[in-house]
Structure 1
C-alpha cells in the first residue's frame, strides 16, 4: 500500500507540475505566437491561413516543407494596440513607439522604424482565430490533469493513512504481545504507568509519524524532485541557480533535530512519569487519604507537570523561530536571486528568456515552497515521533521468553529440588535447597519474611531459573520444558487475588473456551462460593470491576479458589491464601482446600500455622536455607524454630528461645545504673 501510495503520489506531482508547462505553451505558442513571422500563402483554405486586405497569410512554423512562402509580414504589439508591418523585422524585442504611421523599435543602441498599420479588433481576432483550437486543447488537457490530480491526491491520502493505521495496529499488537513474553522480573523495575505510556502515548506519536510526517515528507520529497526536474527542463542555468535551497534545507533539518531530540526525549520521559504517578495514586488512593498525603502527592505531580510544561515551551520557542520564518526567508532569497539573474542578464542580453518561460519558472519555483512548508510544519511531529519510536523499540528490544505452541500431557506432579541455589542479583537468597514432593502430597513453606519461600515458588513457575542445582517435574528437568507447557498444568491462589473486569463466571474461566459453564458452576459450588455469593443480584453473572473492588476479600478469594479448581492443575500453589479472610470464610475455604488438594501436589506458603497442620511435609526456611523439615507433630517435638513460631502464634511468648534471641537485658545506660530496678 505504501508503494501504491508513492506511485500515485508521483503521478499526481507530474500532473500538477504539468500546469506551468501548459501555461508556457499557451503563452509562447499561442498568445504571443501572433508576433512570430507570417508569410503570404496562395492556399487560402489551408489550416492557419488568415485573410487580410485581399491576401492570405500564415505563420511560418505552419508551412509544410515543400509549401512555397510569399512575402514576410509581422504583427507587433505596442501598448494595447497591434500593428501590421508589411515587411521583415530585424529585431522585434525592445522598446516600441508608434508615431504617424511609423513603429519604432529601440534595443540598446539599435533603432529601427517600420511603416505600420493599426489593426482593428475584428482584424486582430482574425489573426488570433487559428490559435483558438490550440488554446482549447491545452485547456482541455489541463482539466484532464486536474481530474487526475484529484484522484491521485485521494489515492495518496487514503493509501498512506490506511497503511499507516495498519502499521500502528500491528505495532500495538506486537508491543502488547511482546509484553506478554517479557520475563516477570522486567516489571519489578518498571512502573506499570510507564509501560502503559509506551503502549498508548508513544505508539500514538508513532502513528503521527506515518499518518502526518510520512505523508508530508514523502510527498514533499517527490514534489521537490519534480519541481527541480521541471526547473531544469525550463532552463538549465536557472535550475542550477536555485539548487542552493537544498543544502540550506538539509542543514536546517539537522540543526533543528539536534535541539528538538533533546527536548522531546525529556518531554516523553516526563509524560511517562506523569502516567506512572497517576496510576500509582489511583491504585493507592485509600492509603493516600488515610495518611493525609494528598498535598505531598499533588506537589510531586505538580513538579513533574511543571517540568513537562517547561520543555514543551522550549519546543514551542524552537518551532516559532524555525518554521514559517525560515520558509519566508528562503522564499524571499530565492526570488531575489531569480530577479538578480534576470535583471543582470537582461542588461547584457545573455540570459534572455521568453515570457512563457519566465511565467512558468516563477510558477514552478513558487510551488517549491508548498512542500517545504508542509515538511517544516511536521518537523516537530517528526522528532517527537522518532523519540517515541525509540522508546517503543527499546521496549521491543527487551529479550522476551520464547513462546511454544501446543501443550504437554498433564504430568503427575512429582517435584524435586536438588541443591538449588538462586540469587536475584549478587547475594544468594536460596542456598542448597533440596526436597522432594510427590504426587498428592502437601508441602508447606514457613519462615520469616525474606527467608526464601516466594523464591522457591518463582523458580517452580520458572519466572526465574536457578544459578546452581536442578529442579525436576516427574524426573524431567524444568529447563528442558517450555515455560508455557510447564505452567499449563499449574495453578495458584494468591494472598490478594487479582480479578479482571467482567463477571464472576468469566473470572473463573478467564475466557478459556475449554472450560464450560457447567464446570464453572461446579467449581464455585465445590469451594463453597455458592453460599457466599448467593446474595449477589445476578449470581455468578454479577459484573466485576477492576481488581474486584466491589467484592469482599473472602468473595475474591473464593473466586480465586474456584478458578484454580476449574483449570484442574497438577501442581497447586497457595500463597497465603487464607491470610486476609475472616474465620467463618476460612472454615469454608479449609473444607474447599481438601477438595482442591485432592490428587494434586500442593505447595502452601503460610504464616498462619494452623492452616498447615495436615501438611505431609513442612519446610522451615531461614535466610535461604531449610533448617527444619517434617510433619507438624514431628517439628513440635523437635522444639526448634517451628516450635517457637507455633508458640508465638498461640500467644505463649514467655521464655521462648525465639524471644530470648531478640531481647537484651539493659541494666545501665552510658555506664550509669538504672534507678528503681528498671530493667
Structure 2
C-alpha cells in the first residue's frame, strides 16, 4: 500500500513540479551557503589566527600590507614571499601559556609542551627537551605581527556575511515556494476527491456514513497537506543537509568522513522500525476520528429524536467510548514518539563524537598525523550540523506516518469505481418507458421479480404496495442508480444501459416525500444554480404550482434565505418549492414519491392542483401511500414482494376485489361514497376490518 500511496502522492506533486523544483534548488543553495561557514572558520583559524606561528623572515622592502613593522625591522611570513624575492634571517613566534615569545632563530619542531622562564622557551617533546632564547612580546608588539592578517580576516568575515544573507534569502524562498506548492497540490487533491464523491454510485453511500466521507475530504486531506509542507520540507532539507555535511566531512578529512558514515544505517533502521509500530496506531487513530465525525453528524441530524426518546445519555456514552479509544491510541503514539525522538538523536550524536575523539586520540598518540585546530573546529562544527537535520526528520516521523495513513484513506476512496461522466446532452425524449421482464437484487435476494409494464408519454403510473414491496427499487432502476441483473428498461424504445446516466437524468425530475432543500435562497433552491433557468422561469414555476400565495408572507420573497434542509419553512412550503423545482427543469419523466404524505388537508388541496399542473404532458410515476391521491392515474401497479400482482385503473382494481381493493378498504372503509356498490364482493365486505 505504501508504494501505491507514494506513487499517487508523487503524481499529485508533479502538478506543482515547477515550484517544487524551485523550492528544492533554493534549499540546496541555502544548505551550501550554511555549510560554507565552517570552511570560512577553518580558513580564519588556520590561515590567519594560528598562522602567526609559521616562520617569518626579515625583508628589506618595508612596503605592502603583508609586511610586519617591528621595532624598525620588517618581517614577512614565509609563504608570502614572491618567487625570487630575497629572504633575510628567520624568526618564530610561539605561544607559551597566554604569552607569545619571539625567537630569533629557526625552530625545527614546534610540537610538544611549551614553557617560558627567565628568557628561555623550553619545548618538551615526550621527554626530549629543546631550549631557545626568546623575548616575551607586549600587546602592541604582538599586534604588529597580527596586523597583516586583519585584511584577510575581514575579507572572510565579509564572505561569511554574504553566505549568511544568501542562506536567509534561500530559506525564505524555499519555505514560501514549498508551502505554496503544497497548498496548490492539496487544493487539487481536495477538488478531485470531492469531484470523485459526486461520481460515486448512490449505493456506495448506503454503507458509508456522511461524517466519514466528510472526514476524508477535510481531516485526511489536511493531514496530507502537513506531509507536503512540514514533512517534505524537513525530509528534503534533512537529506540535502546530510549530503552536504558528508561532502564537507570528506573534504575536511577523508578518513573521518568514512568513520562518520555509521550514522546512516542507524537512521534507516530507526525509520523502518518506527513506521512498523506507528502505522498500526495511526490507522486506528484516523479511523476513530472519522467515526467521531460520523457520530457527531448523526447526532446533530437526529437531535430532536434523541431528545424526544431521551437517548442523550446513551449517545454520550457511545461518543465517550469512541473518544476514549481515540485518546488511548494517541497516548500509544505519544509514548512511541517520546521513546524514539530527541533522546535517540542525542545518543547517536554522543556516539559520533566519541568515535571522532577516539580517532583523533589514537592518531595523535601514535604520532601518525596531527590535524590542525582549524580542521578540528570545522569538523566538530560540521558534525554538529549533521544532527540538526536528523532531529528535524525524526520530529516529523509522526507526521509522516500519520500523513501516509491519511493519504492511503483518501486514495482508497478515490480508487472506488465511479460513474463515467459524459459531456454533452441528448434531446428531450418523449418519455415512453417500458420495463421488460426486469429482475433486480441489491445483494443476493431479488427484490424485483419479472417486472413488465409500459408507460406511454403523458400517462400517470401509480406504484402501490406495502413497505418493502419494491416501489422505490423501480424508481432507482429508472434513474440508473442501479442496473437490473435481468431484463431491459427502455425509454422511447432505447435501452437505458446504452445511454450515459447523466443524459437520462437530465430529462427526469423528482419530488420527494421529504423534499431536500439546500442552504441558499428560495430562488436558488428552485434553479439549483442552473444558469439556463432564468428568474422569470423561477417565478413562473412557483406561480404555476400555487406557491406564490403561500410564500407571500416571507420578507424577502424569492430571496428569503433557506438554511440547511429548509428547517425554517413548513412542510407544505418545502414541498411546493420542490414542485416548482421539478417544473422549472421541465422533465419528460416525473417521479412523485408520495408528495402529499406530510401535508395538512388545506395545503393538500393546493398541492393536488399543483400536481395536475406538474403532470401535464409528462410521463409521471407516483409512489402512493394514500390511495385517494391516485384515483385519476392511467395505470396502477400493485406490488407485493417484488412482483406486480395487479394492474389497471382505480375502478378496474376496485371491481376486481383483490389486494388493491383490500388496501383501499383499510384506508377508507366500506362506506366510501365513491366506491361502486357493485365492486364490493360479499366475501370481501364481510371480511374487511373497520377503519381505525
TM-score by length of 1: 0.95
Match of 1:346 in 2: 364
Correspondence 1:410 to 2:428? yes
Instruction: Give 1:400 shift.
Output: 0.6
Q: CA deviation at 1:658?
A: 11
Q: Aligned with 1:534: secondary structure?
A: helix
Which deviations, in whole Å up to 9, do the C-alpha atoms of 1:15-69 show, x marking residues without a partner? 0010010000000000011111222333333552223355432212112233333
Greater alpha carbon shift after TM alignment, 61-70 vs 394-403: 61-70
Partners of 1:5 and 1:661 lie apart in 2 by 82
Q: CA offset at residue 196 of structure 1?
A: 0.7
> Structure 1, unaligned stretches of length 5 or more?
663-679
Tell me, yes or no, if the aligned pair for 2:434 and 2:452 is still in contact at 8 Å. yes
Equivalent residues of 2:665, 2:688 under 8 A apart: no
Match of 1:209 among 214, 218, 227: 227
1:80-479 equivalences in 2 (<5 Å): 80-479=98-497
Rounded to whole Å, the distance in 2 between the matches of 1:545 and 1:48 is 84
RMSD: 1.8
Distance apart, 1:661 and its partner CA: 11
Q: CA deviation at 1:369?
A: 1.5
Secondary structure of the residue aligned to 2:552 is coil
Q: Distance in 2 between matches of 1:4 and 1:660?
A: 85
1:557, distance to aligned residue in structure 2 (A): 0.6
Kept in 2: contact 1:507–1:563 (CA 8 A): yes
Gapped regions of structure 2 (runs ≥ 5): 1-18, 672-679
Specify which of 514, 530, 534 is matched with residue 552 of structure 2: 534
Which residue number corresponds to residue 618 of structure 1? 636
Matches of 2:644 and 2:138 in 1, distance apart?
A: 119
Whether contact under 8 Å (2:666, 2:688) holds in the other structure is no
Give the Å deviation of 1:651.
Answer: 2.5
Structure 1 counterpart of 2:22:
4
Confirm whether residue 598 of structure 1 aligns to residue 654 of structure 2.
no
CA distance in 2, matches of 1:398, 1:153: 40
- How far apart, in 2, do the equivalents of 1:257 and 1:659 lie? 76
**CA distance in 1 between partners of 2:259 and 2:180 (Å):** 39
- The structural deviation recorded for 1:139 is 0.5
1:675 alignment partner in structure 2: none
- 1:67 matched to 2:85? The reply is yes
| Residue of 617, 624, 637 corresponding to 2:655 | 637
Q: Deviations over 1:398-451 (max 9, x none)?
A: 111111122111111111111111111111111121111111111111111111
**Matched residue, 1:581:** 599
1:226-254 CA-partner distances (Å, limit 9, x unpaired): 11111111111111111111111111111
Please give the residue correspondences for 1:463-502 in structure 2 after superposition, counting only pairs within 5 Å: 463-502=481-520
CA distance in 2, matches of 1:331, 1:457: 69
Count of aligned pairs: 662
Match of 1:520 in 2: 538
CA 1:661 to 1:205, structure 2 compared with 1: closer, same or farther past 3 Å?
Answer: farther
Shift of 1:481: 1.1
**Is the partner of 2:84 in helix, strand or coil?**
coil
2:61 pairs, out of 43, 60, 63, with 43
Whether contact under 8 Å (2:441, 2:484) holds in the other structure is yes
Counterpart check, 1:505 vs 2:526: no
Residue 656 of structure 1, CA deviation: 6.6
Cα distance per residue 1:95-143 (max 9 Å; x no partner): 1111222212122243322222222222222211111111111010011
Structure 1 656/59 Cα, relative in aligned 2: closer, same or farther at 3 Å? farther
> CA offsets, 1:284-309, max 9 Å, x none?
11111111111111111111111111
Whether the 8 Å CA contact 1:342–1:351 is kept in 2: the answer is no
SS at match of 1:607: coil
CA drift of 1:163 comes to 0.9
Question: For the residues of structure 1 that align with 2:310 and 2:510, how far apart are their CA atoms?
Answer: 35
Q: 2-side partners of 1:370 and 1:192: how far apart?
A: 43
Residues 591 and 622 in structure 2, CA contact (< 8 A), matched pair in contact too: yes
The Cα shift of 1:261 comes to: 1.1
Structure 1 contact 644–658 (Cα < 8 Å) conserved:
no
Residue range with higher mean Cα deviation, 332-341 or 276-285: 332-341
